């Protein structure tokens, strides 16, 4: 029988996850939690722009807890510990792209207890943090001995991200450099990227300092820049760069970086994606060295990205494809290396 899946939140990742569940031969959509009262009571098909699905959205946690379901894809903008522990205690496995890839002991304790009480598993999946920042670089490291350095880096045009309020009020675009540098984004990102760095450090055995070093930079517009949040005026933030470094005696051994630009023109400093364009890079220095560039997780144009952003779809797909292995895992918190290798599935029209 198909595993019954609940989608928690219907932002861009949530909508992509619902579509992924509908395509997966081992899964069926059992329920959907929505934040907005306007969406509550609607057929989920209406929310995702498809034919009716016979599943009604709810904004009630109690409705979801009472539902007969095997797993929840938990994808709100920000995590809520109380929600996740309640879902786990209710006997529902949870897969999420917003955290718990490799939690510390203190972070894990209440979640581990809730998962064991519900006899279920919590698994963090996604793209960055997630596959691009720790899983794939670690898999590449199998081809080297004597590893000295691991890097994962994202280069993305944020004009393809159609969430104006998040861009302005959370990510700091369109504001002053001072407000961006002192705003919430660094702290919000640290939660996931710290886990990415620590997982690489621990798996490879680096004698890194316990404290992960962070740094951030901003670029400002030198001329008006059109974006999903409106025009970014000269002097306002139009580019952000974050680094997370693990260090052994002042030598960086693991570096994760994100480069988020509102296009490549009219920026100061004059940041650009270079001739390779938007991409993800993964690098391992050892014997031998490995360098991989991944294309396809960013759209070909801003217009295409605002319709369907491949990075968002990839994030959702990783969660969807992880559900069967997560449900089958031992109770508790499962990292990438606690589960078997996971793959996608053939398209419905091509599957047996």
Distance CA 316, CA 126 (A): 7
Report how far Cα 95 is from the mean position of its chain's Cα atoms: 11
Tally Cβ neighbours within 10 Å of residue 274: 9
Instruction: Give the mean pLDDT of the chain.
Output: 96
> Does residue 140 register a pLDDT over 90?
yes
Q: Considering the entire predicted model, what is its pTM?
A: 0.94
Nearest CA among 350, 307, 345, 349 for reference residue 21: 345
The phi-psi region of residue 29 (left if phi > 0; otherwise alpha if psi is between -120 and 50; otherwise beta) is: beta
What's the angle, vertex CA 205, arms to CA 315 and CA 123, rounded to 5? 30
Burial of 68 (0-12, 13-18, 19+ CB in 10 A): exposed
The tokens describing 203, both together, are 């798996």
Query: Would you list the DSSP string of 129-148?
Result: TBIIIIIHHHHHGGG-EEEE
**pLDDT score for 135:** 96
| CA-to-CA dists, residue 191 to 115, 161, 172, 177, 298, angstroms | 20, 21, 18, 22, 24
Q: pLDDT by residue (tens digit) across 154-166?
A: 999 999 988 899 9
C-beta of residue 334 within 8 angstroms of C-beta of residue 125: no
Distance CA 183, CA 171 (A): 8
Banded model confidence at residue 16, pLDDT cuts 50, 70, 90:
very high
**pLDDT score for 72:** 98
Q: Tell me the average pLDDT across 125-143.
A: 96
The angle, 0 to 180 degrees and rounded to 10, between the axes of the packed helices 310-328 and 12-23 is: 60
- Percent of the chain exceeding pLDDT 70 equals 100
Q: pLDDT by residue (tens digit) across 298-345?
A: 999 999 988 889 999 999 999 999 999 999 999 999 999 999 999 999
| CA-to-CA dists, residue 245 to 127, 209, 213, 251, 263, angstroms | 19, 10, 5, 9, 26
Q: pLDDT by residue (tens digit) across 27-41?
A: 999 999 999 999 999
| CA-to-CA dists, residue 4 to 11, 21, 92, 247, 320, angstroms | 20, 10, 10, 44, 12
> Does residue 296 register a pLDDT over 90?
yes
Nearest CA among 7, 149, 168 for reference residue 73: 7
Q: Tell me the average pLDDT across 243-254.
A: 97
Nearest CA among 271, 262, 297 for reference residue 152: 297
**pLDDT score for 163:** 86
> Does residue 352 register a pLDDT over 90?
no
C-beta of residue 307 within 8 angstroms of C-beta of residue 49: no
The tokens describing 226, both together, are 């059109």
Tally Cβ neighbours within 10 Å of residue 109: 12
> Does residue 1 register a pLDDT over 90?
no
* Residue owning tokens 């009262």: 37
Q: pLDDT by residue (tens digit) across 283-294?
A: 999 999 999 999
Distance CA 150, CA 134 (A): 9
Distance CA 223, CA 26 (A): 51
Banded model confidence at residue 348, pLDDT cuts 50, 70, 90:
confident
* Residue owning tokens 């034919």: 51
DSSP 3-state helix, strand, coil percentages of the chain (rounded to 5)? Answer: 35, 30, 35
C-beta of residue 158 within 8 angstroms of C-beta of residue 227: yes
- Percent of the chain exceeding pLDDT 90 equals 93
List of domains in the chain: 3-127+313-350 (3.40.50.720), 131-296 (3.30.360)
Q: Tell me the average pLDDT across 120-125.
A: 98
Distance CA 17, CA 10 (A): 9
Banded model confidence at residue 351, pLDDT cuts 50, 70, 90:
confident
> Does residue 214 register a pLDDT over 90?
yes
* Residue owning tokens 């880096």: 153
Report long-range pairs for 55-60 (Cβ below 8 Å, ≥24 apart): 55/29, 55/30, 55/31, 56/32, 57/10, 57/32, 57/33, 58/31, 58/32, 58/33, 58/34, 59/33, 59/34, 59/35, 60/33
> Does residue 179 register a pLDDT over 90?
yes
Banded model confidence at residue 137, pLDDT cuts 50, 70, 90:
very high
């Amino acid at each position: 029988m198909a595993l019954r899946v609940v989608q928690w939140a219907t932002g861009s990742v949530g909508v992509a996850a619902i579509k992924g569940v509908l395509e997966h031969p081992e899964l069926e959509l059992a329920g959907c939690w929505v934040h907005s009262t306007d969406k509550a009571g609607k057929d989920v098909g209406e929310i995702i722009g498809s034919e009716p699905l016979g599943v009604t959205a709810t904004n009630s946690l109690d409705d979801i807890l009472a539902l007969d379901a095997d797993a929840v894809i938990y994808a709100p903008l920000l995590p809520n510990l109380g929600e996740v522990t309640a879902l786990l205690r209710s006997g529902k496995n949870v897969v999420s792209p917003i955290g718990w890839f490799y939690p510390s002991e203190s972070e894990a304790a209440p979640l581990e207890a809730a998962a064991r009480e519900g006899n279920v598993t919590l698994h963090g999946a996604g793209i960055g943090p997630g596959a691009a920042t720790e899983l794939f670089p670690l898999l590449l490291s199998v081809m080297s001995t004597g590893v000295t350095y691991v890097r994962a880096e994202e280069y993305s045009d944020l004009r393809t991200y159609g969430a104006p309020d998040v861009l302005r009020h959370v990510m700091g675009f369109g504001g002053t450099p001072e407000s961006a540098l002192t705003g919430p984004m660094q702290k919000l990102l640290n939660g996931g990227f710290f886990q990415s760095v620590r997982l690489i450090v621990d798996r490879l055995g680096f004698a890194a300092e316990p404290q992960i070093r962070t740094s951030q930079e901003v670029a400002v517009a030198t001329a008006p820049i059109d974006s999903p949040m409106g025009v970014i005026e000269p002097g306002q933030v139009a580019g952000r760069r974050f680094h997370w470094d693990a260090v052994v005696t002042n030598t960086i051994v693991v570096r994760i970086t994100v480069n988020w630009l509102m296009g490549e023109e009219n920026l100061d400093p004059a940041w650009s994606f270079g001739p390779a364009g938007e991409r993800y890079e993964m690098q391992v220095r050892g014997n031998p060295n490995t360098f991989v560039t991944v294309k396809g997780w960013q759209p070909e144009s801003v217009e295409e990205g605002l319709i369907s952003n491949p990075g968002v779809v990839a994030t959702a797909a990783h969660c969807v494809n992880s559900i069967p292995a997560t449900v089958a895992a031992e109770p508790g918190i499962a990292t990438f290396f606690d589960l078997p290798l996971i793959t996608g599935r053939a398209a419905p029209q091509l599957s047996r």
